[in-house]
């Protein structure tokens, strides 16, 4: 059971409010119910939000937490004036003091996605996603020269979600290749990857965790057995050491942590906003 409801209210997608709010809430040991209310871009919608928050407060008998990233001051005023939750206005907390310090007025732009579809960066990101999908799990050897990074590792070590995250979040063209028993027998990287060794980054994982993940997909199979997982991980790590490939263990790391580590090694300039 959740102990409290948390609202994330924005006149854009609500991603900023939710990301920032969750980072703060992670400091506390409780399980809130999350409600994201995006595109609150009219006064009428603001009144609807107030009614929803206040109804929740009545039902639960406790103030909801309300994180907002509302740019429009009229809309924000409706929520500030009527909301019976604990209001945390992130733009008011940070933007207004910065206006004073910088001696500048903010542009009051609604979210970073408002005109993104017209930008080159957006189109580059779409191309990167298409590239990463086409080069997932070694499906294609073509155009690898265009790849920003090539991830290698045993099956189910986190290559696909990391590739897609790098493409979607940073616009990187990320290919990924599984290391399989045939590669271990030859004790060589797949031939198509050798010319692009500088772009390769390896992912590994603890065998017991790998066995758990594989058993969810193919229970009680040789593929998922702890003995096979130990063999594959050992062989893959030995191959990466021989080839001088940088690598990390994904066992206890989130996709965000894995991607950030890769960026630090491969494309550190992409960590700049």
pLDDT tens column, 219-264: 999 999 999 999 999 999 999 999 999 999 999 999 999 999 999 8
Helical residues (DSSP H) of 86-152, grouped into ranges: 90-102, 120-134
- State yes or no: 85 annotated in a binding site: no
Mean pLDDT of the chain: 90
Instruction: Report the 10 Å Cβ neighbour count for 113.
Output: 12
- State yes or no: 160 annotated in a binding site: yes
- State yes or no: 251 annotated in a binding site: no
> Of 169, 165, 130, 168, whose CA–CA distance to 146 is shortest?
130
- State yes or no: 250 annotated in a binding site: no
pLDDT of residue 169: 86
- 148, 196 Cβ separation under 8 angstroms: no
- 66, 32 Cβ separation under 8 angstroms: no
Chain centroid, CA 20 distance in Å: 13
- State yes or no: 56 annotated in a binding site: no
- State yes or no: 159 annotated in a binding site: yes
The predicted model scores a pTM of 0.72
Does pLDDT of 112 surpass 60? no
- State yes or no: 153 annotated in a binding site: yes
- State yes or no: 194 annotated in a binding site: no
Helices 159-170/255-266 angle, 10° precision: 70
Distance CA 265, CA 12 (A): 33
Name the phi and psi angles at 161, rounded to 5. Answer: -60, -35
């Amino acid at each position: 059971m959740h102990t409290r409801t948390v609202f994330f209210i924005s006149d854009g997608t609500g991603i900023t409010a939710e990301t920032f709010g969750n980072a703060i809430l992670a400091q506390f040991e409780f399980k809130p119910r999350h409600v994201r209310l995006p595109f609150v871009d009219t006064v009428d919608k603001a009144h609807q939000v107030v009614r929803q928050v206040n109804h929740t407060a009545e039902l639960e008998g406790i103030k909801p937490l309300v994180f907002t990233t509302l740019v429009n001051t009229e809309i924000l005023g409706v929520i500030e004036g009527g909301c019976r939750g604990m209001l945390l206005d992130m733009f008011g907390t940070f933007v207004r003091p910065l206006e004073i310090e910088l001696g500048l007025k903010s542009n009051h732009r609604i979210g970073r996605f408002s005109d993104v579809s017209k930008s080159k960066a957006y189109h580059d990101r779409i191309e990167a996603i298409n590239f990463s999908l086409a080069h997932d799990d070694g499906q294609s050897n073509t155009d690898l020269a265009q790849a920003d990074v090539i991830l290698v590792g045993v099956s189910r070590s986190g290559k696909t979600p990391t590739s897609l995250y790098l493409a979607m979040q940073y616009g990187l063209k990320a290919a990924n290749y599984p290391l399989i028993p045939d590669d271990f027998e030859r004790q060589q990287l797949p031939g198509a990857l050798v010319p692009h060794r500088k772009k390769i980054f390896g992912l590994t994982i603890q065998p017991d965790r790998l066995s758990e993940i594989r058993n969810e997909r193919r229970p009680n199979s040789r593929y998922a057995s702890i003995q096979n997982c130990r063999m594959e991980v050992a062989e893959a790590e030995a191959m990466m050491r021989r080839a001088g490939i940088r690598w990390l263990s994904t066992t206890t790391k989130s996709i965000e942590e894995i991607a950030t580590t890769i960026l630090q090694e491969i494309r550190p300039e992409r960590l700049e906003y």
